[in-house]
A = this chain, B = another copy of it.
């Protein structure tokens, strides 16, 4: 999979995933992987960055299957940012799609 296409989009996929319910890192790696190929070394730093930017709040919860899990919860700022990012993505993808389609029709 083209690594460059993912730039910025992984952020949106992560934000959108957490929107519906709080999730922990490892779980997110698997969730995001259903949509696009991704590995831990990408997701964890991304979560840290989004937390530093106050789009996520975190809390620890013990697990019966391994070490405690760090859960990510979307803040109000996070919700707004997600909405904005989604709108930007839609517009971008539409523009590129329209360009390619228009070219094809000739």
Contact = CB atoms under 8 A, between A and B. Distances in A.
Most-contacted residue by chain B among A12, A99, A103, A106 (CB, 10 A): A99
A99 B19 CA distance: 13
Interface stretch (A62-70, A72-80, A82-90): A82-90
Interface string A20-60: 10000000000000011000000000000000000000000
Nearest to A95: B35
Closest 7 CB pairs of A and B: A4-B8, A7-B7, A4-B7, A35-B99, A5-B92, A5-B8, A2-B88
Given A3-B8, A7-B8, A89-B100, 8 more contacts: A1-B92, A4-B7, A5-B92, A12-B100, A16-B100, A20-B103, A20-B106, A93-B97
